[in-house]
């Protein structure tokens, strides 16, 4: 449900709009639903709107946990 992807904010524009970059694809989107957005922030983009900001700390935390889980895996016999 609800196709949405991470996008990096590259420029804040008037009228609560912003330019974002997704791996070399640029798009102008609405950021009216997000407060205190800064250039360099990553947002979740859905149908032309930023829904939420991605928390880089929490993302790192999840990856660290996944790495830890992988580390304790017994090799399949």
Partner 1 sequence: MKYVDEYRDGNRARQLAEVIAATAAPDRLYRFMEFCGGHTHAISRYGLEDLLPDNIRMIHGPGCPVCVLPAGRIDMAIALAQRPEVTLCVYGDLMRVPGSQRNSLLRAKAAGADVRMVYSTLDAIAIAEQQPAREVVFFAIGFETTTPPSAMAIRLATEKRLGNFSIFCNHVLTPPAIQAILDGVDLADPDQVALDGFVGPAHVSTVIGTRPYEYFAETFAKPVVIAGFEPLDVMQAILMLVQQVNEDRHQVENQYIRAVNRDGNQRAQAAVAEIFELRAQFEWRGLGLIPHSGLKLKPAYAGFDAECRFEMPELTAADNPACECGTILRGVKKPADCKLFGTVCTPDNPMGSCMVSSEGACAAHWTYGRFRDIQRKAS
Partner 2 sequence: MSDKRRKLNLRTGHVDLSHGSGGRAMAHLIADVFHAAFNNEWLARGNDQAAFDVGQGRMVMTTDGYVISPLFFPGGNIGSLAVHGTINDVAMAGARPLYLSASFIIEEGFALAELKQIADAMGAAAREAGVPIVTGDTKVVERGKADGVFISTTGIGALPDGLDLSADKARAGDRVLVSGTLGDHGIAVMSKRANMTFDTDLVSDSAALHGLVAAMVAADGAGIRVMRDPTRGGLAATLNELAQQSGVGFRINEESIPVRPAVAAACELLGLDPLNVANEGKLVAIVAPEAAQGLLAAMRAHPLGQDAVDIGEVIADDHRFVQMTTSFGGGRIVDWLSGEQLPRIC
Write out the binding residues for partner 1, residues 35-54 only, by CB under 8 A. 35, 42, 44, 46-49, 51-52, 54
Report the DSSP beta bridge partners of residue 22.
25
Residue 26: name its binding partner from partner 1, partner 2, none (Cβ under 5 to 8 Å by kind).
Answer: partner 2
4 SS3 class? coil
37 or 49, CB closer to partner 2? 49
| 13 lines the binding site for partner 1 (CB under 8 A) | no
Residue 74: name its binding partner from partner 2, partner 1, none (Cβ under 5 to 8 Å by kind).
Answer: partner 1
Residue 56 to residue 17: CA distance in whole angstroms = 22
Q: What does the block give as tokens for 53?
A: 């900001």
Q: What does the block give as tokens for 45?
A: 């983009």
């Amino acid at each position: 449900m609800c196709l949405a992807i991470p996008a990096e904010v590259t420029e804040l524009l008037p009228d609560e709009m912003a330019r974002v970059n997704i791996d070399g694809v640029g798009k102008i989107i609405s950021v009216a639903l997000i407060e205190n957005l800064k250039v360099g922030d990553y947002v979740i983009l859905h149908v032309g709107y930023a829904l939420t900001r991605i928390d880089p700390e929490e993302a790192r935390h999840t990856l660290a946990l996944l790495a830890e889980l992988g580390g304790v895996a017994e090799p399949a016999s």
